Every structure is written in C-alpha cells, then in structure tokens.
Amino acid sequence: MDINVVNALAYEDFVKLFGNVVEKCPLISAAIWSYRPFKDLADIEARISEFIHSLPDSGKEGILRCHPDLAGRDLQSGTLTPESQEEQSQAGMTTLDSAEIVHMYRLNSEYKERFGFPFVICARLNNKADIVRQLSERLKNRRTAELECAIEEVKKICSLRLHSIVLSDIQTKL
C-alpha cells in the first residue's frame, strides 16, 4: 500500500474501503478520516483504537452488539458480512455438526444473558477448539474485565481486516 493513495481518498471512498474494519461500524472509519494525513497503516490503526477508547462504556458495548454470534443465526441464514463469513469459515464455524452448533448456541446464549453483548473473538487467530475453550473461560470473567477483553479482540479483528485490505489492490475495491 502507498499511504499517499489512502490519504488522497475522498471520505466516500475511504468509508467504502475501510467502513467494515470494525464490524458494521462505518461511523468509526468515517470519524478517523478527520485525522488525515496518516503516516502509515499503524497510524490508522492507532486512530481507530484511540477513537474506540474515547467512547463511554455504552459505546464499547454498542460496538460489540454490532457483531454476529459465532456459528449463530446470521451464519445459518447467510446474512453475515463478507468479512465475518470468511473469518468464521477459517475458524471452522461453518462446518460444525449439529451437536456442535447446539453447544455453541447454548454457550453464546449464556454469555449474552450474562453480559448483554455477544462473545467476540478474533476468529482468524483461533481454531474451533480454542474458541469453545475461551468462550467457556471468559464466561467466568467479571463484566468490566470482559468488556475490556472483548474490545481487545475487536482491535485484533480490525488490525487483520486493515492489513487484508491494504495488501489487496485498493483500486479494484472502489
């Protein structure tokens, strides 16, 4: 990526390109466009992180609530975003057997009941077994610690999505 190409983008194209680096939150990339010119990709990532941390807890929870369940109803009904579809697929969530789907459904429900937001984990960095284990583990967290943990996962997902975009040919995406 040439950062100058990114810095020259009109906000419409910037949001079209980076609008889903935080799942269903184009507001965030649209906001950090204000901080152009960016030095490099790490600078974009830092601005997104800074923006997320500037939000009240309700806003951080709001970001999490824009995420789909893992192996949940959006996956079953084919309504995941392309990015989520790819990530859940890589983590083996699209090839669960029916017992595994029921198990994930129960764990997800318990988690949402407890915290009021869905379980978010960077699926690209974890396989099926890791995901089930961490979901069970994180269910035991206190709410404040879990919110922080989940937001760190959002940032990992965002980082990988950003890298994936800039490694591809930007022009073909606009």
Give the residues lining the site for a copy of itself (CB under 8 A). Answer: 10-12, 15, 24-35, 51, 54-59, 61-63, 65-66, 112, 116-117
Are the beta carbons of 170 and 13 closer than 8 angstroms? Answer: no
Distance in Å, CB of 129 to a copy of itself, minimum: 27
Distance in Å, CB of 54 to a copy of itself, minimum: 6
23 is in an annotated binding site: no
Q: How far apart are CA 31 and CA 123, in angstroms?
A: 26
Residues near 19 by beta carbon (within 8 Å), at least 6 away in sequence:
26, 29, 30
For residue 67, indicate whether it is catalytic: yes
151 is in an annotated binding site: no
13 or 130: CB nearest a copy of itself: 13
Cα dihedral sign for 64, 103, 156, 80?
negative
Active site residues: 67
Q: Which residues are annotated as a binding site?
A: 68, 84-88, 119-123
